Structure formats: C-alpha cells, structure tokens
Structure 1
C-alpha cells in the first residue's frame, strides 16, 4: 500500500484546514514523507477545535520495536482488521481518529511489466485528507505522536485497481471528503466510523507517472595504493 506521500506546506495547511503547527517547538516536515519521518496530522484538540501536530509516519515507530523483535511496518492499517491488530486496536477502540493532509501519494504500477511509480492526486490538484489513527508515546521531552493511514479494498476501483503487483489485492487509502472532516474527527463509535471507510470517486482523482530519482550508489572503496617498493641504497661504494 502507500509508503510515501507529499504533505502540504504550512501555508496551505493553515489556509485549507485552519491549523498552525509551531515549527519552532516541533521541528519541520519534508516535501516527501516516508516511514518514521515527521508529517502534519490534524485531530480533535482538548478544546474541541482542530489541532495540528507533527507525528511520525507509522503507528509503531521503528525505534519503539523492542530489541530482538523482527522489524515490521505500520504505515497502513487494513480497515477489515484494524480493531484486532495489536498495533491499532486500542487507538481504534478509543477512536483516536485523525486526518492526514496531503497533496498526493505514490503507488507502483505494473502495466508495462515492471514496477513504475505513479503519483495520485485530486483531479483539481487540491489538498485532501486521508483517514488515520494517532497514538502517543512517552518521549524524552514529553509525548511523541505517531500515526497510520486506513486502507480498504480497491479491486474494482477504476483508478486504484491499476496499482500494485498483478494478482495482489488492490488497496486504496480512505480519502475523507472535505464536508465530512468534522464528522470524522467527532466519531466516538467504531461501528459508526466504519461508515466513512469508502472508496473515493475515480472521476474526482487523477494520476501520472512519477519516476523516482535513483538513489546514488555508494562509491566503491578506492583500491589501496601499493606499498612503496624498497629502495636499494647500496651505491657500490
């Protein structure tokens, strides 16, 4: 499923969602969000208003996985099992819901016979928000937040059904329509929340090839210089 996305910049986030994140205290976010990187999310604050904060991408950050436990990814939570899996069950049952703002996300397409990365966005290129869950951890300097994104089946979706390996189940992020943002954040009942987990209309979305910049290869270590040859200092005197 989705392993990276592009969040909006601070000005767009404020203009569209009305939240401001204090970057002096919370750091910053990058143009592309990958596993364990910080990105903005929006949740319901203690005062009842929308609250923006930076959170780590992946419900269980890699640094939180105990030593000796095989590493696993929690960037995407399957809606069918979200209430059962240990990584997501408590946030889901407690309805720790959030919106993950973004301007696009990437998926692999195999229509040419090999994996090619495509970018998915709204047809009008507007910012949108994905349904997510947040959780908090005790940090050295206070609570640290993390998040995951909810996914649903997309086997017969006209657009999202094009992505991922042939034969694999097709999945899509849950895009929450803007007029439902408040209702999603206000959900208190997991069963009621499931009513929001539906596929977004393909005609309101667009996609295009977006090849990734190849990672720079590590330079091969230079061959160690040959040791200096011994110099014969016997001049025959």
Structure 2
C-alpha cells in the first residue's frame, strides 16, 4: 500500500501546464497530512487541499484517515468508507514526483522509491470526499489501488506472499477522461503502469519536517 509520496514540484507543474497551486504543502506526505488534489469542475481544472486518507461522512474524527489512505478498486462500492464517494463519481488525481513502497531484502523491509525516468510528475487515481465534523469542513482523498501480482515492477514490493497492490496511474493523455468519468465502473482505467517508463531504487527514509512547504506561488 502507498502510504508515503512526494507531491509534484514547481517545474513539473509548469511542464504539465497545470494551474498554479494557491497553497503550501509538505515536501513528503504521509496519512493524515494535507496534499494537493486535482479535479475538474464546471470552471475547468482546480486544486483542493485535502487530507491524505478518506474521512467519510459518518466519521466521528479525522484519525480514521490513518487507515483509509488506499482503496481497492474491486470493493469501492462495498466498503462503507468509500461507497458514497464512488457512487457519486468523485474522482480526482494526486500528482506525484515519486512514491514509496517497502521491498523485503533478506526478510527486512527497505524503503524504495518509484518515479518516471523522464522526471515528469504522474497522476495517481484518487477518490475524494467532503464531510463535516462538528463545525469543521473536512476534504479528504484516498488513492485507488489494483492487484499487482503480475506487474513486472510492483510484484516485488510489499510483504512476501501472494497479495501485491499498486496505485493506479492515470496516463497523461487520459487525464481529462478520468476527471470527467461519470460511472462508478472504472475497470477501463485499471491497468498496470508501463514499467519501461518508470524506475525504482532504494531510498532510505530521511528526517523531514512535517509542515515544510513544498511550493509557494506568492513569492
């Protein structure tokens, strides 16, 4: 499961001709951190600051985000946490520079990063929700995942066994199609990313500051 990633940087955003992000966000994101989510409204592409980890409408507090940052595409319409957002087709993407997974070497987990060889950011399929807890409005999102037991790269991650998962990456040329999708049946988007366009390597975890800003477009 993907629980840690680096959002896109300023150069990557401009290379993709995306609108400016009007808020700061961390250099690295973990569950319950805030991140930039891209979605499509009647006005076009828009950014929202959301919490990493779905906070459903029935949640009593935000800590549930620590457990709901990934959602299996196979059960979106079965799990109480995700069914409302999935049935209403609240689809977005989380643009990232790289994401991290555990690879077990001699039965010990190592933190490995996955990124595009060309240095571009890429879009991870996401589901988002808006709810209220007390007087606070909570915007949150989860990454949608798929079975990766046969994926040439992703099958080597996670604990030893026959359960392997991968985030779903939306190709650049299908971004508008995904953001405009109006059916909870997303099977046509469930495909492993082309491993020839990506690479991975051991990336030891570095000490970071939780609230260190990634971007500030008002300098």
Tell me the TM-score range normalised by the shorter chain: 0.7 to 0.9
Greater relative CO (CA pairs within 8 A, separation 6+) = 2
Q: Is 1:199 aligned to 2:192, yes or no? A: yes
The structural deviation recorded for 1:113 is: 2.3
List runs of 5+ in structure 1 lacking aligned partners.
Answer: 216-237
The structural deviation recorded for 1:60 is: 1.8
The structural deviation recorded for 1:15 is: 4.2
The structural deviation recorded for 1:66 is: 2.9
Rounded Cα–Cα distance in structure 2 between residues aligned with 1:17 and 1:5: 22
In structure 2, relative to structure 1, the CA distance for the partners of 1:100 and 1:162 (3 Å cut) is same
The structural deviation recorded for 1:200 is: 0.7
Rounded Cα–Cα distance in structure 2 between residues aligned with 1:129 and 1:87: 23
In structure 2, relative to structure 1, the CA distance for the partners of 1:70 and 1:195 (3 Å cut) is closer
The structural deviation recorded for 1:10 is: 4.3
The structural deviation recorded for 1:8 is: 1.2
Question: Which residue of structure 1 lines up, in the alignment, with residue 179 of structure 2?
Answer: 185
Give the TM-score of the pair, scaled to structure 1: 0.80
Tell me whether 143-152 or 3-12 shows the greater mean CA deviation: 3-12
The structural deviation recorded for 1:41 is: 0.7
Q: Is 1:19 aligned to 2:26, yes or no? A: no
Higher strand residue share = 2
List runs of 5+ in structure 2 lacking aligned partners.
Answer: 209-219
1:5-45 deviation digits (Å, cap 9, x = unpaired): 1001345335425222322xxxx210100011111010112
The structural deviation recorded for 1:53 is: 1.3
CA RMSD across the alignment? 2.4
Rounded Cα–Cα distance in structure 1 between residues aligned with 2:33 and 2:14: 21
Q: Give the alignment of 1:22-37 within 5 angstroms.
A: 22-23=22-23, 28-37=24-33
Q: Give secondary structure in 1 for the equivalent of 2:138.
A: strand
Rounded Cα–Cα distance in structure 2 between residues aligned with 1:178 and 1:71: 28
Question: Which residue of structure 1 lines up, in the alignment, with residue 126 of structure 2?
Answer: 132
Question: Which residue of structure 1 lines up, in the alignment, with residue 38 of structure 2?
Answer: 42
Q: Is 1:75 aligned to 2:47, yes or no? A: no
Rounded Cα–Cα distance in structure 2 between residues aligned with 1:15 and 1:143: 32
Q: Give secondary structure in 1 for the equivalent of 2:188.
A: helix
In structure 2, relative to structure 1, the CA distance for the partners of 1:72 and 1:141 (3 Å cut) is closer
The structural deviation recorded for 1:46 is: 3.2
The structural deviation recorded for 1:195 is: 0.7
Tell me whether 130-139 or 101-110 shows the greater mean CA deviation: 130-139
In structure 2, relative to structure 1, the CA distance for the partners of 1:17 and 1:198 (3 Å cut) is farther
In structure 2, relative to structure 1, the CA distance for the partners of 1:71 and 1:120 (3 Å cut) is closer
| Rg (Cα) greater in structure | 1
Question: Which residue of structure 2 lines up, in the alignment, with residue 4 of structure 1?
Answer: 4
Give the TM-score of the pair, scaled to structure 2: 0.86
